[in-house]
Chain A
Amino acid sequence: MRAKLLAVVTGVGLLLAAVPVWAHHAFAAEFDQSKPIKVRGLVVKWELTNPHSWIHIDVKGPDGKAVTWMIEGASPNNLYRLGLTKESLPAGSDITVEGYQAKDGSTRAVGRNITFADGKKFFLGLTEAESGPAKQ
């Protein structure tokens, strides 16, 4: 496992060259591509914080108990520019999240794909032309 970590680090490289804003930190050091997750639950809270927004969802485990997952999303600055507001993802929304789990095994993940119960995709940042007007 340690050897794998070192390999990841050399892959990421030293920050000698300018790196785009999206890669402000090593994705691969925080999230584990070998730990994909797919969870469904109700939105508890949508934190519009920087550098990343966080969707808190309560996911019912097999034992019926709810576990809160935190799903990492885009900076709210990008979302505001695309017309999204804090009302765009109300508490109680039934969503399914596909993503990658945090390397430390916590119930945290980076969101890759988010869909509502009715199958509609929740775009955390596509342009209006591609996703239609900003909607719930």
Chain B
Amino acid sequence: MRIWFSASVSALMLTIAGLSLAAMFASGQSAAYRAPRTPDGKPNLNGIWQALNTADWDLQGHTAAKGPMPALGAVFAIPPGLGVVEGDEIPYLPAAAAKKKENQANWMKLDPEVKCYLPGVPRATYLPYPFQIVQSPENILMAYEYAGGVRTINMGAPTKAPGDSWMGWSNGRWEGETLVVDVTSQNDQTWFDRAGNFHSDALHVVERYTPRSADTLMYEATIEDPKVFSRPWKISMPLYRHVEKNAKILEYKCVEFAEELLYGPLSKKPGN
């Protein structure tokens, strides 16, 4: 009788454990992690964060490939990556799909990252450089190391953008443990990655930042652009906290590294 009882209790406990595990895997995050709170009672996202993947090379799954400069050999070859797009498919409309191929074939000439242009959202999140979140009740500021990019997420009543910009216009709100950011009014000049994935000025991005442990966040972004894609699509990835002492985002004013490329042809020729 006792054996049967304990067996059924064990079975029940295993079932509960199994269901919890299933729930965890389904949501991709630790079950019900509750982040420490800021003094004003919100999940604390303050810190220096960075993505650890090759999304900036290519959002979709990709194998290792030769880099663009033979002289740099393996140092700047293209590393492999599993991709961050749910379903690994980016649903381009037919005309847009052709443009993507053209972009990819000419990426060194066309990718705005090469020129040190601001990356837009979500690319700013998964550039291979850190960014810092500074959280106040009224505003959540995200300062990106690359090109000194920055955006201030309005946490009050949503406001409207007067016009387009490189980093867009961000309105944020809390949904339980998750910071939800609605990003509109980005211009059409940025790309999603170095593989030529692009968008129009109708881009609408909804980001979700959910703490999954003391030193990780789960980042998801839903991308919608009826001029380019046939339906919304989603990327997701963890973001990792920089835990080293005195971690800091440093000045990365990359303009001077792009000048020879941009203005070299306008220099005085020797002998003139």
Contact = CB atoms under 8 A, between A and B. Distances in A.
A85 interface: yes
B164 to A, nearest CB: 7
Interface in A12-54: 48
Contacts of B164: 48
Nearest to B161: A80
B94 interface: no
B266 to A, nearest CB: 10
Interface in A115-130: none
Contacts of B163: 48, 76, 80, 85-86
Interface in A64-122: 76, 80, 85-86
Nearest to A48: B163
B162 interface: yes
A80 B164 CA distance: 12
Contacts of B162: 76, 80, 85
Nearest to A85: B162
A75 to B, nearest CB: 11
A48 B166 CA distance: 12
A48 B165 CA distance: 9
A61 B162 CA distance: 35
Interface string B157-180: 000001110000000000000000
A86 B163 CA distance: 7
A76 B162 CA distance: 9
A85 B164 CA distance: 11
Contacts of A85: 162-163
A86 B162 CA distance: 8
Interface in B144-165: 162-164
A100 B163 CA distance: 28
A76 B165 CA distance: 10
Nearest to B163: A48
A33 B164 CA distance: 33
Nearest to A76: B163
Nearest to A84: B162
A80 B162 CA distance: 7
A26 to B, nearest CB: 16
B109 to A, nearest CB: 21
Nearest to B266: A104
A76 B164 CA distance: 10
B202 to A, nearest CB: 15
A94 to B, nearest CB: 23
Nearest to B164: A48
B152 to A, nearest CB: 14
A25 to B, nearest CB: 14
A49 to B, nearest CB: 8
A39 to B, nearest CB: 25
B184 to A, nearest CB: 14
A48 B163 CA distance: 7
A80 B163 CA distance: 9
Given A76-B162, A76-B163, 7 more contacts: A48-B163, A48-B164, A80-B162, A80-B163, A85-B162, A85-B163, A86-B163
Interface of B: 162-164
The 3 closest A-B pairs by CB, nearest first: A80-B162, A48-B163, A76-B163
Interface of A: 48, 76, 80, 85-86
9 contacts: A48-B163, A48-B164, A76-B162, A76-B163, A80-B162, A80-B163, A85-B162, A85-B163, A86-B163
